Amino acid sequence: MTTATLAPESVGLTREEYEEIRRRLGRDPSPLELRMFGVMWSEHCGYKHSKLTLQLLPTDNPRLLQGPGENAGVLDIGGGWAVAFKMESHNHPSAVDPFNGAATGVGGIIRDILAMGARPIALVDSLRFGPLHDPKSRRQAAGVIAGIAAYGNCVGIPTVAGELVTDPGYRGTPLVNVACVGLVQHGEVARSRAAGPGNPVMLVGARTGRDGIGGAAFASEELDTASEREDRASVQIGDPFAGKLLIEATVDALRAGGVVAVQDLGAAGLTCASSEMAARGGVGMRLELERVPLREEEMRPDEILLSESQERMLLVVMPEAADRVASIYRRWGLGADVVGEVTDGPLLTVHRAGAPIVSLPPYALAEAPVHRPAAREPDTLRARWAMPEVPQTDPAQALLALLAAPAVAVKRVAFEQYDHMVQVRTVVAPGAGDAAVLRLPELPPKGLALVCDGDGRLTSLDPYRGARRAVAEAAANLACVGATPLGLTDCLNFGSPENPEVFWTFRQAVTGIADACRAMKIPVVGGNVSFYNESPDGPVLPTPVITMVGLLEDVASTCGAGFRRADDMIVLAGGTDPDLAASFYVSAVHGMHAGRPVDVDFDAHQRLLAVVRDAVARGWLSSAHDCSEGGAAVAVAECAALGGLGADVMLPGAPRADIALFG
């Protein structure tokens, strides 16, 4: 095959990008090399449209042990221990194969945490679908929830928090964002930087098959009506039992010593893992494809290099530790094969039957070109800020309608399928409080709190304020269980960055997150950008999702959201000037997607959260709940329902009852 038979466009590259490849190599790439560039320079792997904008996010913090650029962020939690956490999307695979797309999303994010040397202890998911009366959306929701449950439950990691949102804006493209949290001691934090020429490169875990080939490039494309049929082969197939064995074997191998670097094989498989490890370490790497254990016969070199078969990791080990590390994996029933070595030359070389078939500088693959997309404020944005007259509605009927809305209704359909008690750390379970709370037997009496928040509806009305509100609400949820924010990871779900209005929205949302984090001194330790969430129905609602982790000094002091005792006083703390603009009430009850979201006063917000945290720590509160979708009335109703009690309340005066109740 000649280079001329493979057009750049066939692997998702532009002519300009092809010329950049020629400039970096000083020659034409071979067809195999071009396929490798196609996946590595995809949006999913290369972040070529978002990299410059992401530099706005603050990362510095005294607790920071590892920020963006590795498999996950790591923050100190005291006593020589640290928490590792990250969030990723699996939107495109879940759209075409909901069960396997969601299940492998869970498996992939678990391995990211494992690659930091941390033992995974909890999962968090944020799920968004079209209206559930639509058969396709209902089928996607059922498949995704079952896939998350199947993998998480089998691998023994509790799913303890999340979101389940339905909106017509997600009908064509569901959003499946999954975060994982793990614990690691300071001296055991692992990295993915290859080092030591002559050190063996070892492929561990499952065998390599043809599943998932091209998955990274597929995740960088828009979906159409044929995608469900044509792209199913690009969806990986996971094995949670092998995933559980991989966790135990890798924890054992890292503790035994001799492992220099470790990397998950996810998007772009062996191509991505080898090139990123070599590029980060400033070394070369030689791979021998005949040493890769295969699950299928007669696999081509491109299939081996681009396969996204699950439950695999790539290690660089010391020569004297190779046999010991291999024996650990084999003891757990997993493969462990030396497939190459680190070299001191600046090249990634791939050989088959002794003959070189690839020779590339690792940085050329791992560092995609940076694009500067055009940005333009949407033409209709400011017109949507105008609030029409909201008709008067019977408050009781409006409250019932809000409580029945999927965004507010109890999410038992999801969390009852998840095992949230495995590992016996869970103190505040899903649905019982504003955030999940986990005990830390490693650091008694401390605890961790986890939450995720996002609001595509608000972000579509004002991306800057909507993103700021997501950060503020996540911090409020943590305060309600008595936790102080440590840091956050985000998942940024948008349409095509080549659409100037979409990219303007994306940039405004990132700026909002950055400004909110600076105001609250919360570092962004990592995250994920998912572009091209589009279908024939158009772009998905712009949806930045925030997963925030908090620390409790004494987990015994936490509280849930449900009322606990009759005759307790109910206090509405904070601002008492409600507004119907952009409220969930006008959207869910009156069908109005209008108004500009009220911005957050972070000085006042910080003071309020400090008071709430202090009150929880002192044991003064029997319950705490933030007012969000549906306002104060929905918040009181939720607290009453959770506690099995009633409530008699008098809200501050307002020009209309619905403003006081639902603003």
Across the range 327-355, mean pLDDT stands at 97
Identify any residues that bridge with 116 across adjacent strands, giving them in sequence order. Answer: none
- Residue 624's SS3 state is coil
Residue from 44, 49, 92, 605 carrying the catalytic annotation: 44
> Position 557: which residue type?
S
Which tens digit of pLDDT belongs to each residue from 9-37?
999 999 999 999 999 999 999 999 999 99
Neighbours of 636 (CB within 10 A): 23
CATH code for position 318 = 3.90.650.10
Counted domains in the chain: 2
Report which DSSP code applies to 489.
E
Rg of the Cα atoms in the chain: 25
Identify any residues that bridge with 263 across adjacent strands, giving them in sequence order. Answer: 314
Could you give the CA distance from residue 482 to residue 617 in angstroms, rounded to a whole number? 6
Please check whether residue 124 lies inside any domain of the structure: yes
Please check whether residue 531 lies inside any domain of the structure: yes
- Residue 642's SS3 state is helix
Q: How confident is the model at residue 172 (pLDDT cuts 50, 70, 90)?
A: confident
Q: In three state form, how does the secondary structure of 293-357 look?
A: CECCCCCCHHHHHHCCCCCEEEEEECHHHHHHHHHHHHHCCCEEEEEEEEECCCCEEEEECCEEE
CB proximity list for 493: less than 8 A, separation 6 or greater: 89, 91, 175, 177, 456, 530, 533, 540, 542, 543, 544, 545
The secondary structure of 386-440 as a DSSP string is SPPPPPP--HHHHHHHHHHSTTTS--HHHHTTS--STTS-EEE-TTTSSSEEEE-
Could you give the CA distance from residue 137 to residue 105 in angstroms, rounded to a whole number? 19
Please check whether residue 114 lies inside any domain of the structure: yes
The secondary structure of 493-537 as a DSSP string is E-S-TTSHHHHHHHHHHHHHHHHHHHHHT--EEEEEEE---EETT
Statement to judge: residues 518 and 616 lie in one domain: yes
Statement to judge: residues 497 and 409 lie in one domain: yes
Annotated catalytic, 44? yes
- Residue 661's SS3 state is helix
Statement to judge: residues 261 and 132 lie in one domain: no
Q: Is the pLDDT of residue 230 over 90?
A: no
Could you give the CA distance from residue 35 to residue 356 in angstroms, rounded to a whole number? 16
Statement to judge: residues 205 and 280 lie in one domain: yes
CB proximity list for 338: less than 8 A, separation 6 or greater: 200, 201, 202, 291, 322, 326
Statement to judge: residues 203 and 160 lie in one domain: no
Could you give the CA distance from residue 506 to residue 521 in angstroms, rounded to a whole number? 22
| CB 306, CB 39: distance < 8 Å | yes
Please check whether residue 386 lies inside any domain of the structure: no
pLDDT of the residue at 415: 85
Please check whether residue 255 lies inside any domain of the structure: yes
Q: Is the pLDDT of residue 1 over 60?
A: no
pLDDT of the residue at 653: 73
Statement to judge: residues 408 and 336 lie in one domain: no
Please check whether residue 495 lies inside any domain of the structure: yes
Could you give the CA distance from residue 249 to residue 359 in angstroms, rounded to a whole number? 32
| CB 304, CB 270: distance < 8 Å | yes
- Detail the DSSP E strand segments found in 445-493: 447-453, 484-493
Across the range 270-290, mean pLDDT stands at 98
Statement to judge: residues 162 and 208 lie in one domain: no
- Residue 284's SS3 state is strand
- Among 329, 364, 399, give the residue marking a domain's end: 364
User: Token pair for residue 78?
Assistant: 């005291």
- Among 364, 379, 403, give the residue marking a domain's end: 364
Across the range 201-208, mean pLDDT stands at 98
Statement to judge: residues 419 and 526 lie in one domain: yes
Please check whether residue 80 lies inside any domain of the structure: no
Using the CB atoms, write b or e for 531-564: b if 16+ within 10 Å: bbbbbeeebbbbbbbbbbbbbbeebebbbbbbbe
Q: How confident is the model at residue 517 (pLDDT cuts 50, 70, 90)?
A: very high
Nearest one of 182, 151, 343 to 254, comparing CA atoms? 182
| CB 196, CB 342: distance < 8 Å | yes
pLDDT of the residue at 233: 60
Q: List the domain range (segments joined by +) for residue 208.
A: 39-49+191-364
Judging by beta carbons within 10 Å of its beta carbon (0-12, 13-18, 19+), is residue 383 exposed, middle or buried? Answer: exposed
- Among 346, 364, 382, give the residue marking a domain's end: 364
Helix (H) / strand (E) element for 175: namely strand 175-185
pLDDT of the residue at 211: 86
CATH code for position 409 = 3.30.1330.10
CA atoms within 13 A on the CB side of 31: 12
Mean pLDDT highest for which of 225-229, 340-344, 590-594, 651-655? 340-344
Across the range 335-340, mean pLDDT stands at 98
Helix (H) / strand (E) element for 444: namely none
Statement to judge: residues 210 and 119 lie in one domain: no
Could you give the CA distance from residue 220 to residue 421 in angstroms, rounded to a whole number? 36
Which tens digit of pLDDT belongs to each residue from 58-82?
999 999 999 999 999 999 999 999 9
Could you give the CA distance from residue 287 to residue 270 in angstroms, rounded to a whole number? 10
Could you give the CA distance from residue 331 to residue 79 in angstroms, rounded to a whole number? 32
Q: How confident is the model at residue 414 (pLDDT cuts 50, 70, 90)?
A: confident
Residue from 49, 90, 92, 590 carrying the catalytic annotation: 90
Nearest one of 525, 32, 420, 97 to 11, comparing CA atoms? 32
CA–CA distance from 348 to each of 261, 288, 354, 356, 361 (Å)? 16, 11, 15, 10, 6
pTM of the model: 0.95
CB proximity list for 505: less than 8 A, separation 6 or greater: 378, 459, 460, 463, 494, 542
Which tens digit of pLDDT belongs to each residue from 118-162?
999 999 999 999 999 999 999 999 999 999 999 999 999 999 999
Please check whether residue 22 lies inside any domain of the structure: no
> Position 421: which residue type?
M
Statement to judge: residues 139 and 171 lie in one domain: yes
Statement to judge: residues 417 and 552 lie in one domain: yes
Statement to judge: residues 403 and 538 lie in one domain: yes
Label residue 567 left, alpha or beta by phi (over 0 means left) and psi (-120 to 50 means alpha).
left
Nearest one of 569, 578, 475 to 519, comparing CA atoms? 475
Could you give the CA distance from residue 85 to residue 597 in angstroms, rounded to a whole number? 30
